[in-house]
Structure 1
Amino acid sequence: MASDQVKVIGGAETFWLYSETNGYDLTHPPTPVGPKVYHRISLKTTDSWAVIDPKKTALVIIDLQNYFLSAALGRPSDSPGLKVVDQLLEHAIPACRKAGIPIVWLRWGLTQEDIEGMPPTILRGFGLDDNFDNERSPPGLGTDIGPIQLDDGSTVEGGRVLMRDQWNSEFYAPLASKAEDHDIRIYKNRLSGFWGGTGVEDALRSRGIRTLIFSGCNTDQCVATSLTDAVSKGWDCLLLRDGCATTSPKFAQDSVEFNMGGWGFLLDCKDLADGVDGMQRAAPGVHKDENGGV
């Protein structure tokens, strides 16, 4: 195929465009030969270029909650999750704000009904959590943690584990401070946020979102299950390699990254920021329609 020849990947309802010169176009124009989408971000991924439309894209941040990250619960100060927070704060979130890409704050937030109907295998998985640095057994889902002393010496009620409206289920404070009113906030009740009637699908479709950029923890668990469910339901998916982490052995992260070749695209947070900066520089010259409007 000639480098400038465009190939259509997909059917009449949903498709990508591909050329050797420009890589994969995920902007979903009305037709393969329809008007060009000018509001575009070209992203350098690990194996190709991927072009997205920020108006049809959302950043999904999964489970970066106090329960998983807070030192007040014995989480280590050098945990992989905190390194992810740093990358999101430095690169990914500012880039999305520049480009007008909304953020989906997707997190555990259970009701008592959820607890009653929870499969035993999930309850067992949380009951065997050994990351708390204390002498008592870590509490399972829905168990009251009790008072927690924070770094500043103040005390808060930790609340019931990963239930709604509890301190432990809030997003980690440095991230939570970056949330904005127009963002999408979704509670999930399984590993995958695209399971169990969470409302995330309706929220995304109502905004015309076709492309999802995934981040969070744990890579091989809640992030991967959410991403693969989203792929199966028709969303285009990208994974921020340094925007997600896991406490599983290294091969678990490696496996998810390897499989992105079949699930979508893999890139770093800085790649997203660089792509947005490129769009910003080009904006004055290319973001006008034939009538001079933006």
Structure 2
Amino acid sequence: MLNIKPYILSFRLQTLPLAVSTVLMGNIIAAYHNSYHSYVGIFAVITTIFLQILSNVANDYGDAISGADNEERVGPERMVASGKISRKAMRNTVVVFVSLSLLSGIILIYFGNFRAVSIKSIGLFILGIGAIAAAIKYTVGKNPYGYRGLGDIFVFIFFGLVGVLGTYFLHTGTIHLWVVLPASAMGFLSVGVLNLNNLRDVETDAKTGKNTLVVKNGSKWGKKYHVFLHLGALFSLLIFGIYNFTEWYQWIFILVFILLLKDLIFVYKNNDPMLLYPYLKKLAISTFLLVLFLGLPLLLL
């Protein structure tokens, strides 16, 4: 019988709150603007979950092929590198989640607030194909972009701008300029999780030719960059709040940044990459809490 436990582990379910945070932000702002459609909200979450799992299994497969996953790696065990899932089986798993992402994405577009066959729907379909390709090409194929220091850009675009603005657009059929700010905040924090991962893996990444921005610029630079990402998220939301909030309790999201400050100080002062692993999960959960603390007061109005 097929042992499903290694597959569940390869899905890395702990990464899902961060991915869901992005579409949740888009859903909440659409609801705040009285344009929420339940089927769009549901299938946006489902599609995002499929895309995140696709990214995780493709990363497991790609890093095993390249040798980036080896006995020196810090963090959760990878299934292909450990031999618990064969390369062929993981490749098939990638195909399955490409199919699921594509099917769910088509259904999502169908329920969007525009004609099923239109320039808007075609554009979103192309964007969806791009998201699938980005999930795979991070570590898979010849010259993957994650090995050239381009992962941060793609994460900011797809886990920030596309995730929030795309979800909002599916609900409303339009783009509201102010939504760019919370979308950017989500992008900054998502890149922050990636940057923590790169700070943790800087030594093994350098040995295996995975030239992340931290490998290229050094851990000291990476720590300053981490501070910049947090400040970018904070200032984006502060500007959004100044021009959109009308009640004092809408500012409670700042409490999340206060909670993050202690972790940020630790990351900045830390000199042992192996100690950074728990902080990836903390930042992902904090990002999810941030969306709730920002979004729920908006829905109370």
TM-score by length of 1: 0.32
Rg (Cα) greater in structure: 1
* Structure ranking higher in helix proportion: 2
TM-score by length of 2: 0.31
* Structure ranking higher in strand proportion: 1
